[in-house]
Every structure is written in structure tokens, then in C-alpha cells.
């Protein structure tokens, strides 16, 4: 069950326990830090980047919060379930669960994979792992009487975007967004389930993107700039907080206002 909410608006998540998958970098790292700043103790998940997750945990501890790092290959079902169990056992509960982990198919060796290879990797982590973990943890939260689950979608999944990346991400993130709406109904009223749908966010790919993509990202936002991982993190804290108690089954775009062309 959720701990009593703090009276301080600066620490709305005081006393709560949060789990963030994919916390070793980018959006996941920003969300984990922002949850800690808001008062939560945080389990930070990593796959291959354990050292980055350990560095994050140290930063969380410097904020006066407790931190635990767990490594897991979320594409593997047995490992995934072990991770969920270990996360719950740390404090004998989880109040906030954020499925941020996603397969990186845009940078490194994976950038040269075939469409089919990229899609298979995305489906295993972004879709299957998010669905499986949400269902497992969601049932436990419902039995405890409360909880918050957040997934990661994509702001252009419903309208579509031309090209290989647009096709695969629309299919993958569209599935996560549709699942979020249905799980919210399954777990209501005890558990709230929402989805953040980031647009052009300057993560590792954005920092290396060509001039074409740099210009497009700025042009398509009414705010006239790239989004940052911190923009997404602040929205995540709001959805996890008591201020969003009446919000569930929602997909929230984080894109600075999309400019249709």
C-alpha cells in the first residue's frame, strides 16, 4: 500500500518505492533521478550498463534516498520474473513502476541490422517485457490496494511516420499504448496505469543525428526545440504523484506541441 503522501509539494512521493527499468541512461536515468528528488526510494534496472546504473544509484543516495541496482535481461522471461520478484522484495512493496527499458536499434552495431532483426529486438523488450512486467506487478499492486504503472509510447505512433523506423516504432509503441489503456481497466480502481509518449527527445541518437533530423525535430515542435529527458521525467513524476490521482488509462504526449506538416 502507498505510504502517506508528503505535505510538501516539493516531495510528493516521500516514503514511496519506485522501480525504473532502463535506468542506466537517457530517459530512464532522468526519471529515476526525478522520482528520487520527489522523495522516492528507487530500484534502478540495467542490462549491459551496470556501471552507469551504479553511478546513478550513488547520485540518488546523495539526494538522501535509498537506491538498489538490479541487472536483468528483460528479453528473457525467467530473468524478467526474477527481476520483478527481487524488486518487490527489496522493501516488500512497490508503489511506482516505470517501464522505460527499450531495445536500442538506432545506434551501435544494431543500426546495421535488418528491419526484421530490429523489429524482433524491439518487440521482445519494448512490448513483451513491458506487458509481462506490468501484469505481474499490477496484480500485486491491486492486491495491496494501490499503485502506479507507467509505460513509454511514441507521440507519432497513432498518426504514423514514413520509413523503416516509423513503421517499426509505430507498430511497437502503438501496441504499448493500446495495452496501457486496457490494463488500466483491468486494474481499476486500485492501480493507475498511464503511458508517456515522447516525441523528439535528445537522447544518445538525437545527439548524433544528422542535420536533417536536427532541423526536423526543432521544426515539428511548437516550442521550437528538442525535448530533453528531463521534460519526460517531470511528466512522469506528475503522473506518479497524488496530483494525478484522477488520471488513468491515458497516453500523454511529451513533444512540445506537434506541428503538423
pTM beyond cutoff 0.75: yes
12 is a domain residue: no
pLDDT of residue 6: 41
CATH number for the domain that contains residue 202: 3.40.50.720
pLDDT tens-digit readout, 21-38: 999 989 999 999 999 999
Dmax over CA atoms of the chain, in Å, equals 52
Rounded mean pLDDT, 131-136: 98
pLDDT-based confidence at 7, cuts 50/70/90? very low
Top-confidence residue, 205 or 138: 138
261 is a domain residue: no
Q: Is the pLDDT of residue 204 over 80?
A: no
65 is a domain residue: yes
Residues 36 and 112: their CA atoms lie apart, in Å, by 37
pLDDT-based confidence at 107, cuts 50/70/90? confident
Q: Is the pLDDT of residue 249 over 50?
A: yes
Q: Is the pLDDT of residue 158 over 60?
A: yes
Q: Is the pLDDT of residue 3 over 70?
A: no
Measuring CA to CA, which residue among 125, 162, 144 is closest to residue 22?
125
- Please answer whether residues 38 and 12 qualify as being in contact, where contact means their C-beta atoms are separated by less than 8 angstroms: yes
81 is a domain residue: yes
Rounded mean pLDDT, 2-15: 66
pLDDT-based confidence at 10, cuts 50/70/90? confident
pLDDT of residue 5: 41
Rounded mean pLDDT, 242-254: 97
50 is a domain residue: yes
pLDDT of residue 260: 80
Q: Is the pLDDT of residue 1 over 50?
A: no
Beta-ladder partners of 147? 191
The range of the structural domain enclosing residue 53 comes to 17-253
The per-residue pLDDT of the chain, averaged, comes to: 93
pLDDT tens-digit readout, 51-99: 999 999 999 999 999 999 999 999 999 999 999 999 999 999 999 999 9
Number of domains in the chain: 1
pLDDT of residue 8: 52
34 is a domain residue: yes
Amino acid at each position: 500500500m502507498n505510504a502517506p503522501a508528503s505535505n510538501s509539494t516539493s516531495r510528493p512521493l516521500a516514503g514511496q518505492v519506485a522501480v525504473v527499468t532502463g535506468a542506466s541512461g537517457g530517459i530512464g536515468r532522468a526519471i529515476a533521478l526525478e522520482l528520487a528528488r520527489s522523495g522516492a526510494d528507487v530500484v534502478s534496472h540495467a542490462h549491459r550498463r551496470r556501471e552507469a546504473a551504479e553511478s546513478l544509484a550513488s547520485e540518488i543516495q546523495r539526494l538522501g534516498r535509498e537506491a538498489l541496482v538490479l541487472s536483468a535481461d528483460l528479453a528473457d522471461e525467467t530473468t524478467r520474473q526474477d527481476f520483478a520478484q527481487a524488486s518487490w522484495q527489496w522493501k516488500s512493496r512497490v508503489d511506482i513502476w516505470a517501464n522505460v527499458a527499450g531495445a536500442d536499434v538506432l545506434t551501435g552495431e544494431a543500426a546495421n541490422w535488418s528491419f526484421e532483426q530490429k523489429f524482433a529486438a524491439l518487440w521482445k523488450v519494448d512490448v513483451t517485457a513491458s506487458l509481462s512486467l506490468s501484469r505481474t506487478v499490477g496484480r500485486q499492486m491491486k492486491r495491496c490496494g494501490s499503485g502506479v504503472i507507467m509505460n513509454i509510447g511514441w507521440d507519432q505512433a497513432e498518426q504514423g511516420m514514413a520509413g523503416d523506423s516509423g513503421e517499426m516504432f509505430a507498430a511497437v509503441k502503438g501496441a504499448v499504448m493500446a495495452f496501457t489503456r486496457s490494463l488500466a481497466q483491468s486494474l481499476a480502481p486500485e492501480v493507475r496505469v498511464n503511458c508517456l509518449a515522447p516525441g523528439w527527445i535528445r537522447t544518445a541518437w538525437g545527439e548524433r543525428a544528422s542535420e536533417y533530423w536536427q532541423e526536423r525535430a526543432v521544426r515539428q515542435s511548437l516550442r521550437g526545440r528538442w525535448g530533453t529527458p528531463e521534460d519526460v521525467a517531470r511528466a512522469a513524476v506528475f503522473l506518479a504523484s497524488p496530483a494525478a490521482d484522477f488520471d488513468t488509462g491515458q497516453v500523454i504526449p511529451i513533444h512540445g506541441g506537434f506541428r503538423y506538416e
